[in-house]
Amino acid sequence: MGFTRNKDNKMIGLLQRYPLPVIVLAQLFGTSLWFSINGVWLSLAGELGLAESDLGRLTLSVQAGFIVGTLTLAVTGLADRFGASRIFLVSSVLGALANAGFVLVAGVFPVDSLLRFATGLCLAGIYPLGMKLVIAWTPKHAGAALAWLVGMLTLGTALPHLMRGATLGLPWEWPLLAASVLALAGGLLVFLLGDGPHLPKANGGLPITQGLAALRIPRFRAVAGGYFGHMWELYAFWTLVPLLIARELNRLGQGEALVPWLSFVVIGIGAAGCIGGGRLIRTRGSEWVARRALMVSGALCLLYPWLHGLSPILLIALLMIWGIAVVADSPQFSALAAATAPKETVGSSLAVMNAVGFGLTLPAIWITSGLWSPWGVWVALLLLPGPVFGLLSLGRGKAPA
C-alpha cells in the first residue's frame, strides 16, 4: 500500500512539473466531444435518413448546452468557488456518458437533442475551466499558454473527423465511443494534476453582479466585443467545413471517403494558427495577432463565394488558410480578457464572456446551415459581420501603454 502511494505521488509530481502539456492534452481529449456528431455525419445521416437541418439542430443543441453551463458557472460562482480540476473531472465523466448515450438514441427526436444539450452543458466545465487552469499554472505566459490550449480545442474539434476517416467502413458509433473514452482520460489527467497555485480562491457565493464586474471596464468591453465578432464566424465556419469540402470533392469527381480527412486538416490546421500566434505575441503582442487574424478571415468571408468557380484544389487551399486565421485570434482574446478582468473573479468573467460569445454562435449556425441548400457557398457572406464587428470593437478600446 505504501509502494502504491509513493508511485502515485511520483506520478502527480511528474504531471505538476509539466502542467501546460497535461492541461492541453486533457483539453484535446475533452473537447473531442464537441463535434463528435459532425465527424460521423455523412455515415450517420445516410443510415438514419437525416438532413443538413438535423445537423444544424444537433450542433445548436451542443452550443445551447454550453451557454447554459457557462451562465450557470457565472451566476453561481462555481468557477471561482470550487477546485477547477474537480469541476473538469466531473464534467468530463458526465460528458463522456452523455456522448456515449447518443449512440442509443441517434435520430430519436427530441432525446438525441437533449443528450447533445447535456454534452454541451458538460463542456462548459471543460473549456472555461481549462483556461482558468492555464492561468493558474502559468500566469506569466498566459497568452502563449492559452494559444496552446485553444490549439488543442481546435484539434479536439477536428479529432472526430480524423477518427471517422480512420474508421471508414466501420460503424459510425465507434468514433463516438472513442471520443467518450478520450474525455474520461482527459478528466483523470487534470484531476491528478490538481489546481494551480497562482489564483486566489473566492470566499462564499459570487453574485452575478460580481461575475459581470469586468463588463464595467472599457478595455474589457472592447476585447469582449472583438471576441464576440470572432465567435459569430468561428463555429458557423467549422459547421460548414464538411459541406464545403464535399462540394469541392464532388467537383473533382471524388467520393465521400476524403471528406473526413480533409475536414480534419482544414479545422485542425487552426491549431498551427493558435500556436504560431502565441509565438508572434512575444514581439507583436496579443492585440496585433487578434487584429490580423480577424482581417484575414474577414477577407476570406467576403472573397470565397466570388471565387467559387476556381479550381477545387485552390479553393481547398483557401479553406486551409481560412482554418488557420479563423481561430488564431481566439486565445489572444482570452488572454487580453483575463489580463483586464478583476483577478478575484477571472473565472466568472471568462465564463460570462464565453456564454455571450457562444450565444452568438446559435443564430450563426442556424442561419448558415439552414441556408446551405439554397445558397451554397454564398452563405459565407453571412459570416462577414463577425470579423467586421470585432475589428470595430477593438478599435474602440485603446490598449494601455
Q: What is the pLDDT of residues 147-191, one digit of tens each?
A: 887 888 888 888 888 877 877 777 888 888 999 999 999 999 998
Instruction: Let me know if residue 200 belongs to a domain.
Output: no
pLDDT of residue 141: 63
Burial class (CB in 10 A: 0-12, 13-18, 19+), 43: buried
pLDDT computed for residue 290 by the predictor: 93
pLDDT at 362 > cutoff 70: yes
pLDDT band at residue 201, thresholds of 50, 70 and 90? low
Task: List, for residues 318-356, the tens digit of each pLDDT value.
Answer: 999 999 999 999 988 988 887 887 766 666 677 778 788
199 domain residue, yes or no: no
- Tell me: do 176 and 247 sit in the same domain: no
Cell matching residue 30: 475533452
Total structural domains within the chain: 2
Confirm whether 350 is domain-assigned.
yes
Band (7; pLDDT cuts 50, 70, 90): low
C-alpha to C-alpha distance for 68 and 78, rounded to whole angstroms: 13
**Rounded CA gap, 278 and 151, in Å?**
10
Query: Is 6 a member of any domain?
Result: no
Higher pLDDT, 396 or 140: 396
Residues 114 and 262 in one domain: no
Domain contains 237: yes
Is 204 a residue whose pLDDT tops 50?
no
* Same domain membership, residue 163 and residue 310: no
**186 and 218 both lie in a single domain:** no
The answer to whether residues 224 and 381 touch, using CB atoms and an 8 Å cutoff, is no
Band (pLDDT 50/70/90 cuts) for residue 102 is: very high
Q: Are 85 and 180 contained in the same domain?
A: yes
CA distances from 383 to 24, 139, 291, 335, 399 (A): 28, 33, 16, 24, 27
Q: How confident is the model at residue 205 (pLDDT cuts 50, 70, 90)?
A: very low
Residues 189 and 211 in one domain: no
Same domain, 301 and 170: no
Quick one: what percent of the chain has pLDDT higher than 90? 40
Q: Are residues 264 and 389 in the same domain?
A: yes
pLDDT at position 281 is 85
CATH number for the domain including 331?
Answer: 1.20.1250.20
Average pLDDT of the chain, as a whole number: 84
- What integer is the mean pLDDT of 111-138? 87
Measured CA to CA, the distance from residue 229 to residue 108 in angstroms comes to: 34
When mean pLDDT is compared over 67-81, 147-161, 305-319, 347-361, the highest value belongs to 305-319
Do residues 24 and 85 share a domain?
Answer: yes
Chosen domain end from 163, 194, 225:
194
pLDDT of 400 strictly over 50: no
Show which of 161, 194, 227 is a domain's final residue. Answer: 194
Query: In three state form, how does the secondary structure of the chain look?
Result: CHHHHHHHHHHHHHHHHCHHHHHHHHHHHHHHHCCHHHHCHHHHHHHHCCCHHHHHHHHHHHHHHHHHHHHHHHHHCHHHHCCHHHHHHHHHHHHHHHHHHHHHHCCCCCHHHHHHHHHHHHHCCCHHHHHHHHHHHCHHHHHHHHHHHHHHHHHHHHHHHHHHHHCCCCCCHHHHHHHHHHHHHHHHHHHHHCCCCCCCCCCCCCCHHHHCHHHHCHHHHHHHHHHHHHHHHHHHHHHHHHHHHHHHHHHCCCCHHHHHHHHHHHHHCHHHHHHHHHHHCCCCCHHHHHHHHHHHHHHHHHHHHHHCCCCHHHHHHHHHHHHHHHHHCHHHHHHHHHHHCCHHHHHHHHHHHHHHHHHHHHHHHHHHHHHHHHHHHHHHHHHCHHHHHHHHHHHHCCCCC
Residue 401 banded pLDDT, cuts 50, 70, 90 = very low
Last residue within a domain, chosen from 144, 168, 194: 194
Structural domain boundaries enclosing 341: 207-400
Which pLDDT does position 199 carry in this prediction?
Answer: 57
Residues 225 and 356 in one domain: yes
Distance CA 294, CA 388 (A): 8
User: Has residue 6 got a pLDDT over 70?
Assistant: no
The pLDDT of 302-310, averaged and rounded, is 95
Whether residue 311 sits in one domain with residue 181:
no
Q: Which residue has the higher pLDDT, 167 or 93?
A: 93
Asked if the structure places residue 43 within a domain, the reply is: yes
Residues 139 and 237 grouped into a single domain = no
Q: How confident is the model at residue 211 (pLDDT cuts 50, 70, 90)?
A: low
pTM of the model: 0.81
Assess if residue 52 is contained within a domain: yes
pLDDT at 47 over 90: no
What integer pLDDT is reported at residue 116 of this predicted model?
96
Check whether 121 has a pLDDT greater than 90.
yes
Question: Is residue 1, in this structure, part of any structural domain at all?
Answer: no
More confident call, 345 vs 113: 113
